Structure 1
Amino acid sequence: MATRYYFDIRNGEELYADRQGIELRDEETAAHEAMQSLLGMAKHNPLLDKQRLLAFEVRTDQGPLFDVSLDLGITRR
């Protein structure tokens, strides 16, 4: 039986709630989906000179499960 997982997006201080979710077979599949989606988002949203946390806060209807995050930034020397 599939479970509905919600992938709330954290972009720095902003949190965007996933109101639809997606049905997946298990938590491992949800973690894989979150990581692949996060890497795609990072690839298509380049940074200039600031640090930024980009993350999915993954939950089900029962509550929070885990976070998948990337700490993005460029340090100029």
Structure 2
Amino acid sequence: MKRFYFDIREGDEIIPDEEGLELSTIEKVHEEAARSLADMARDAIRARGDGVPHEIAIEVRDDSGPVLQVKFTFEVDRRKH
């Protein structure tokens, strides 16, 4: 199995994954990244109700370099009624 690293990006800040995970297929890598991002997005929505756009991403790499990126943007656009 190959080792993949799931770096977290919030705005201009990046938190590198130093440990990584061993996964057997790119589909499993995609699933893990999407599941992790969904958890992070849920937490961001709870914490940020101010309408300021908030973008978070997981950038996946292996020993050869970038593999894929999943990202989520949260923005509230309140309209007058």
Given the two structures, how large is their TM-score scaled by the length of structure 1? 0.91
Question: Where do residues 33-44 of structure 1 align in structure 2 (5 Å cutoff)?
Answer: 33-44=32-43
Structure 1 spans left out of the alignment, 5+ residues: none
Does the alignment pair 1:15 with 2:9?
no
Name the larger-Rg structure. Answer: 2
Counterpart of 1:45 in 2: which secondary structure? helix
Question: Where do residues 1-77 of structure 1 align in structure 2 (5 Å cutoff)?
Answer: 2-46=1-45, 47-48=48-49, 49-77=51-79
Given the two structures, how large is their TM-score scaled by the length of structure 2? 0.87
Q: CA RMSD in A?
A: 1.0
Counterpart of 2:38 in 1: which secondary structure? helix
User: Which whole-Å CA distance do the structure 2 matches of 1:41 and 1:33 have between them?
Assistant: 12
Q: How many residues align?
A: 76
The one-letter code matched in structure 1 to 2:24 is R
Runs of 4+ that moved beyond 4 A? none
Structure 2 spans left out of the alignment, 5+ residues: none
